[in-house]
Structure 1
Amino acid sequence: MTKQEIREKVLDMRRSLTSKYIEDESAKIYEHLMDSGLFDGAKQVLSYSDFDNEVKTAMLTGWLMFHGIRLCLPCVYQKEMFAADIKSAVLELSRFGIAQPKYEKASFAAPEELDIVIVPGIAFDRGGRRIGFGCGYYDRFLKRATKAKKIALAYDFQIVDFIPEETHDIPVDIIITPDGRIR
């Protein structure tokens, strides 16, 4: 299958999820994530605002803020993605309908200073390859986030046998699913 065929198939599945499924599976993923020890020593984390039935990140957001870890959200501005401190600006909806800090008011973390990047995606394979929406924002950003652990949160059905890789693709290091950890 092509990337586009995988994207369409998995998105159709994700869009048909019930709110109970999303809440239950997101809670399992969060539990595995918290048990992983991956946040030990982390000082700056880029997460994402979930939308369109993605794995929920609210529990993680609360945990990070409670523990005093600097939390950033992606902020897309003029075709580039930045890591905007969540406390630095009010949230607005991006052109994609995703909550992000208002660019003009935000303070930013340099990609190379981040300890962890929580990477969204539509589909992943066991090699860490991912399919997003095809805009390349994350791949360009991850190329610069050289020391960060790249962690994906995914429902089990989002794990596919194989994703074709392109030269600009940046894989994730770890995938957390309701069944545990991959890689």
Structure 2
Amino acid sequence: MNKKDCRNLIKNKRRLLDKDVKLSSDNAIKHRLLNMTEYKKAKNLFIYVSMEDEIYTHEIINLSLALGKKVFVPKVDRVSKTMIPVQINSINELIKVPPFGILEPEFSHIENQVDKIDLAVTPGLAFSRNGDRLGYGAGYYDKFFKENKDIVKVALAYDFQILDFIPTEVHDEKINFLISEKELIII
């Protein structure tokens, strides 16, 4: 299966996921992350802001802020195709950015604070047990992780997103941990 077919397969499965099953799975994944040693030790968390079919991260963001962690979310520069972590104090600071309606910080002047990040929670469509990650295809996270090798990377996934094999290329960056509703996989 090629990357495009793999992406379409997983997107379709996520779209068809029963709302109650999604809620239950999202909660199980959240609890696995919150109980993870690396999360507990992290002072500075870089985390994606979920869209509708993704594992819900808004609650994780709010809980992390309540625990006193510094929370950074991605701000995308579509011209340079780069992603900058921006610290937020509330999820209410985020605005929907076209063309996909992704929630991002509004700031026009952003100080790059990547050197402060202990742990990154990354999105994706498919994952393998050996750390391969298939994203949405724009390469923002691969580029970011290639430039910031020391950041510990955790992916959140529904069990059906974990495949025996996913197509990868040399520029694709691996993750360190994979959390599903059923297990924590250490790579």
Q: TM-score under structure 1 normalisation?
A: 0.92
Verify: 1:128 aligned to 2:131, yes or no: yes
Q: CA RMSD in A?
A: 1.7
Q: Which residue of 1 aligns with 2:88?
A: 86
1:150: how far off?
0.1
> In structure 2, what is the Cα distance between the partners aligned to 1:99 and 1:107?
18
1:59: how far off?
2.4
1:39: how far off?
1.7
1:103: how far off?
3.8
Verify: 1:97 aligned to 2:109, yes or no: no
Q: Which residue of 2 aligns with 1:19?
A: 19
> In structure 2, what is the Cα distance between the partners aligned to 1:160 and 1:26?
19
Q: Which residue of 1 aligns with 2:2?
A: 2
Which portions of structure 1, spanning 4 or more consecutive aligned residues, are displaced by more than 3 angstroms?
105-108
Task: Please tell me whether the aligned partners of residues 113 and 147 of structure 1 are also in contact (alpha carbons under 8 angstroms).
Answer: no
Can you give the 5+ residue segments of structure 2 that lack an aligned partner in the other structure?
Answer: none
What secondary structure does 1:83 align onto? strand
What secondary structure does 1:133 align onto? coil
Task: Please tell me whether the aligned partners of residues 15 and 53 of structure 1 are also in contact (alpha carbons under 8 angstroms).
Answer: yes
Task: Please tell me whether the aligned partners of residues 124 and 158 of structure 1 are also in contact (alpha carbons under 8 angstroms).
Answer: yes
> In structure 2, what is the Cα distance between the partners aligned to 1:158 and 1:15?
12
What secondary structure does 1:160 align onto? coil
1:105: how far off?
4.7
Report Cα offsets for 1:53-109 as digits up to 9, x if no partner: 111112211221011111011111122111011239932222321101014054442
Report Cα offsets for 1:135-170 as digits up to 9, x if no partner: 000000111222211000000000111112211110
Task: Please tell me whether the aligned partners of residues 113 and 145 of structure 1 are also in contact (alpha carbons under 8 angstroms).
Answer: no
Q: Which residue of 2 aligns with 1:63?
A: 63
What secondary structure does 1:169 align onto? coil
Q: TM-score under structure 2 normalisation?
A: 0.90
Q: Which residue of 2 aligns with 1:149?
A: 152
Gap change, CA 1:150 and 1:35, over 3 Å in 2: same
1:134: how far off?
0.3
Which stretch shifts more, 96-105 or 145-154?
96-105
1:35: how far off?
2.0
> In structure 1, what is the Cα distance between the partners aligned to 2:140 and 2:128?
19
1:118: how far off?
0.3
Task: Please tell me whether the aligned partners of residues 34 and 40 of structure 2 are also in contact (alpha carbons under 8 angstroms).
Answer: no
Can you give the 5+ residue segments of structure 1 that lack an aligned partner in the other structure?
Answer: none
What secondary structure does 2:17 align onto? coil
For these two proteins, the number of residue pairs brought into alignment is 182
1:18: how far off?
2.7
What secondary structure does 1:152 align onto? strand
